[in-house]
């Protein structure tokens, strides 16, 4: 069974409040999700570690998205679509 209380090893924490789970990397909630939506935010830090935290969260919580990079641009794959990444991107579950 995956650990639901830990993602990554440095500067990352998970909190759940009022039905919303947030994964914070340093000072940015990189992923927030509820039963109805997922919100992605890099905080302007388009680093491999930020992208990895998002993807680790998706795998651990079964959220069904992945973040990838091509020619310095980030993309999100979700429900068969490839979407250009922007901070605050909201995915309907």
Count of structural domains within the chain: 1
1: pLDDT strictly greater than 70: no
pLDDT at 11: 79
> Considering the domain boundaries, does residue 3 fall inside one?
no
Q: Does 81 map to a domain? A: yes
pTM of the model: 0.89
Task: Please check whether residue 4 lies inside any domain of the structure.
Answer: no
- Give the integer Cα–Cα distance in Å for 38 and 10: 23
Domain assignment present for 46? yes
Residue 69, domain extent: 12-92
The answer as to whether 57 is a domain residue is yes
Answer yes or no: is 36 within a domain.
yes
37 neighbors 22 (Cβ within 8 angstroms): no
Q: What is the pLDDT of residues 47-76, one digit of tens each?
A: 999 999 999 999 999 999 999 999 999 999
**70 assigned to some structural domain:** yes
């Amino acid at each position: 069974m995956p650990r639901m209380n830990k993602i990554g090893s440095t500067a990352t924490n998970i909190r759940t409040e009022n039905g919303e789970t947030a994964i914070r990397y340093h000072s940015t909630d990189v992923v927030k999700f509820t039963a109805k939506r997922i919100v992605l935010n890099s905080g302007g830090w388009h680093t491999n570690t930020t992208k990895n935290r998002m993807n680790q969260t998706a795998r651990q919580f079964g959220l069904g998205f992945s973040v990838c990079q091509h020619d310095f641009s980030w993309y999100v794959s979700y429900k068969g679509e490839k979407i250009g990444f922007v901070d605050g991107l909201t995915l309907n579950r």
